[in-house]
Structure 1
Amino acid sequence: MSEFFDALETRDQAEREAALLKALPLQVAHAKLASAAFADILKDVNPAEVTSRAVLAKLPVTRKHQLLELQLHSRSQHGNVFGGFSTHGFGAQLPRVFASPGPIYEPEGTARDYWRMARAMFAAGFRAGELIHNSFSYHFVPAGSMMETGAHALGCTVFPGGTGQTEQQVQAMADLQPAGYIGTPSFLKIILEKAQDMGVALPSLVKAMFGGEAYPPSLRDWFTAHGVAGYQCYATADLGLIAYETSAREGLVQDEGVLLEIVRPGTGDPVAEGEVGEVVVTTLNPTYPLIRFGTGDLSAVLPGHCPTGRTNTRIKGWLGRADQTTKIRGMFVHPGQVDTIAKRFAAVGKARLVVSGEMANDQMTLKIETAESSQALVEKVMEAIRDVTKLRGQVEVVAPGSLPNDGKVIEDARSYQ
């Protein structure tokens, strides 16, 4: 029988959904009241009405590039480093602040397991009383602290190995005999190869939780052959844990502290279950209450429940980036513009803009799924392309359901040789 971190993981899905939707209007109200940024973003929203996913889907999506822009503006105009998104300023309520490239500054609050990482560690096999070798960075970015606070909440001791100094990492592992490793998979591979070169055995290292990089099956098999059972988690510096892998190795199970949507890239419109789109997350974190935060990552919902008995929604994992903005003939074309064109025509379903040709000779073709293949429709869509993008493009009619389910709204097929 599977073990679980807590009873939340095995709740009836209807019970979980009811709990999330009960908490949602309270979180929206809190964000409007305590966050200057969301007071403006949600100024026309009545929090009491946000009681369903359908209503949530009508709220604006705040994407990472917008978060950066708002932070930069707020810093220059008002001296607010968090762009008005944090509900606390510096002091006892914010023991740490971190920086991601941009720079985007992220607050760390005082809540136990603030980033909610303990759940993922438990699923990866870590248990109270064990020593964890943490090789995520402890400076600038929050990764090291994310994992350490989760490990402490789980009841584990942490060796803060950080990055680099491979020989010292091997020596520390040989001396301390940690139960497992947390960090990027590439760095653990380097450490194990270095240990082999040094003739140092690391028999205690039998499990790992990875993040920050892709973890393909080939690499998983490599670790298995070296006696390490490695599992991946999906987290961001803005949101903390979003989803995590289990022993079933069938997708990633959504964390209990977030409300997740998959939307069409460049829009806020939810896609059908199984369709690839951008991961948008609403967090219940009161310190940093991000409402409909666009991660910029592509994924898709998997049907059914995890074979381990966990009942929350599963996603396929990271499938690429959602920001497909492309420069064509000197003009930027955005996924949202493709969506705008398609929505002008009731007969058009999905659309995909394919950019082809060689450098300086760009050609673009909008492929549209429709059962109507009249020349009149094609000409009207071509007019819409010119109107929205200020560029000329061709239109290709394809059968409904024939475009690939890969989340791509703009496909850059140009030759750069």
Structure 2
Amino acid sequence: MAKFEPAAGRGLHPIEQAPIAEIRAVQLERLAWSLAHAYAHVPAYQRLFDDAGVHPSDLRSLDDLARFPFTTKTELRDNYPFGMFAVPRDQVVRVHASSGTTGKATVVGYTQSDIDMWVHVYQRSLVAAGVRPGDVVHVSYGYGLFTGGLGAHYAAEQFGCTVVPASVGQTARQVQLLVDFDADVLCATPSYALVVADEFRSQGIDPASTSLRVGLFGAEPWSEAMRAELEEAFGIDAVDIYGLSEVIGGGVANECVETKDGPTIWEDHFYPEVIDPDSGEVLPEGETGELVFTSLTKVAMPVIRYRTRDICSLQPGTARSMRRMGRVAARTDDMLIIRGVNVFPSQFEELVSADPRLTGHFLLEVHSQGRMEGITAVVEPKSDAGGHDAIAADFANTVRQRIGISVEVRTVEPDGIPRSEGKAQRVRDLRG
């Protein structure tokens, strides 16, 4: 079984700045353990490996991982609820479940050592983001089966911060707490952070007037334009935290505040690959494809080559030795095909955020146009924007030039688009 090292104080763990050769050696040792652990204790993995004609003993180098089969949500759902666990249920101290935004929720389990590891990597993320012991950390991620709230809560609490477990909703009260408690750090989805900024303004308060210093935003793709909007609104450093329930939760990777050039992956616990989403072929570093993770130290529920559906690239390390994720551009399961063109909601988000006349909120309505399909982009001009017809025409022209499709654009009055308290729902499918 792989050994877990506790954090080295509250600074950087030595592995974060280790030579690449040392990191690869740690990965190979832990990967061998994880494959053997999964094969020996999870019947579903034994079947997958046997069907693929591979055995854990076939791993002699990191490149050999490409011979092993992928894991998808299908395997997790087919073995609902506890069939993917590698330990008896009475050794599982906690269960979480994915948010289920793209289908039925998937159950994940944790031993106490898994919880300790999760806290450890999340604390690395806090350090990377510029959070300090003693900071007031306002957690606006959802609590409960979703990993967002409790992941941030436990890590920040054990890091020495004062945690405000606000969860989501009651946005007016969130504003009051952020002001009254002199919060230093806001943890939220970026779309909900925009909702909070709007609530500040509706109360006549400049969101940049607060004590907030850091925004730790994740759980959904967001653009550089949205980063700029959030940083200007709150007067903060906005950094990207990445994670997913099936791998551990938030804290799989995190941007370093000094570079803001994509989340650093904590590679000694999570081994990344990027593959061609169609062929499954592993792509070279720097090429864009689907992100895949293999857990290296998870005990209760190891995952082998889990297909995240997130589209990004792997980049060399900068502020840390470990590799970085390029910004998640989209998810393969969010992709729309409109008149033969692949379209992602994140492309619209970038255009909306870049238009100073629009709020950051939008909705894509997908509908049938005879034998074809079309999109209506519903956008929300700011209250002082005026000229809604001109805004709609300009935005339609921008979409045509930047994305390559023709869309209808409809404007609504301020607050006309429903606000999300969790992950933003950007697409409304009106096809029959």
**Scaled by the length of structure 2, what TM-score is found?**
0.68
Q: 1:412 to 1:34 in 2, by over 3 A?
A: farther
Structure 1 residue aligned with 2:259: 248
Corresponding pairs, count: 325
Alignment of 1:4-153 (within 5 A): 5-43=12-50, 44-68=53-77, 70-71=78-79, 75=80, 81-82=81-82, 84-91=83-90, 93-101=92-100, 102-110=104-112, 111-114=115-118, 116-153=121-158
Q: Which residue of structure 1 aligns with residue 387 of structure 2?
A: none
Q: Secondary structure at the match of 2:116?
A: coil
The one-letter code matched in structure 2 to 1:53 is: L
Cα distance change of structure 1 residues 360 and 188 upon mapping to structure 2, 3 Å threshold: closer
Structure 1 partner of 2:308: 295
The structure whose Rg is larger is 1
Give the aligned residue type for 2:290.
E
CA contact (8 A) 2:274 2:289 kept: yes
Q: Which residue matches 1:317?
A: 327
Q: 1:195 to 1:13 in 2, by over 3 A?
A: same
Match of 2:164 in 1: 159
Distance 1:30 1:272 in 2: 28
User: 2 CA distance for matches of 1:359 and 1:120?
Assistant: 49
> Hey, what's the Cα distance between the residues in 2 that align with 1:57 and 1:189?
40
Taking structure 1 as reference, are residues 274 and 327 closer, same or farther at Cα in structure 2, changes over 3 Å only?
A: closer
Aligned amino acid, residue 36 of structure 1: P
Question: Could you tell me how far apart the structure 1 residues matched to 2:294 and 2:141 are?
Answer: 25
Instruction: Give the equivalent residue in structure 2 for 1:237.
Output: 245
The 2-side partners of 1:118 and 1:124 are apart by 10
Mapped partners of 1:64, 1:317: distance in 2: 23
Contact 1:277–1:322 at 8 Å: present in 2 too? no
Aligned-partner Cα distance in 1 for 2:173–2:231? 24
User: Which residue does 1:278 correspond to in 2?
Assistant: 290
Contact 2:125 2:254 in 1 (8 A): yes
Q: Note the C-alpha offset of 1:156.
A: 2.0
Name the SS for the 1:117 alignment partner: helix
Shift, 1:35, TM fit: 1.9
Offset at residue 4 of structure 1 (A): 5.2
* TM-score when normalising by structure 1: 0.70
Q: Which amino acid aligns with 1:145?
A: L
Check whether the contact 1:264–1:278 (CA below 8 A) recurs between aligned residues. Answer: yes
- Residue 347 (structure 2) aligns with: none
- Runs of 4+ off more than 6 Å: 324-328, 411-417
Structure 1: 5+ residue stretches without partners: 76-80, 329-357, 363-410
Q: Residues 34 and 179 of structure 1: is their aligned pair in 2 closer, same or farther, counting only changes over 3 Å?
A: same
Residues 414 and 323 from structure 1, CA distance in 2 versus in 1: closer, same or farther, beyond 3 angstroms? Answer: farther
SS in structure 2 opposite 1:278?
A: strand
Q: Are 2:227 and 1:215 equivalent residues in the alignment?
A: no
In structure 2, do the counterparts of structure 1 residues 414 and 271 end up closer, same or farther at CA, with 3 Å as the change threshold? farther
How far apart in 1 are the matches of 2:278 and 2:235?
Answer: 43
Residues 64 and 147 of structure 1: CA distance in aligned 2, closer, same or farther (over 3 Å): same
Structure 1 equivalent of residue 212 of structure 2: 205
What is aligned with 2:384?
Answer: none
Letter in 2 for 1:112: D
Aligned-pair CA distance for 1:10: 0.6
Q: 1:326 to 1:98 in 2, by over 3 A?
A: closer
Which residue matches 2:191? 186
Deviation at 1:45, TM superposition (A): 2.9
Q: Could you tell me which of 224, 238, 261 is aligned with 2:273?
A: 261
Alpha carbons of structure 1 residues 270 and 324: separation in structure 2 relative to 1, 3 Å: farther
Identity among equivalent positions (%) equals 25
Asked whether the 8 Å contact 1:96–1:108 carries over to 2, the reply is yes
1:278 alignment partner AA: E
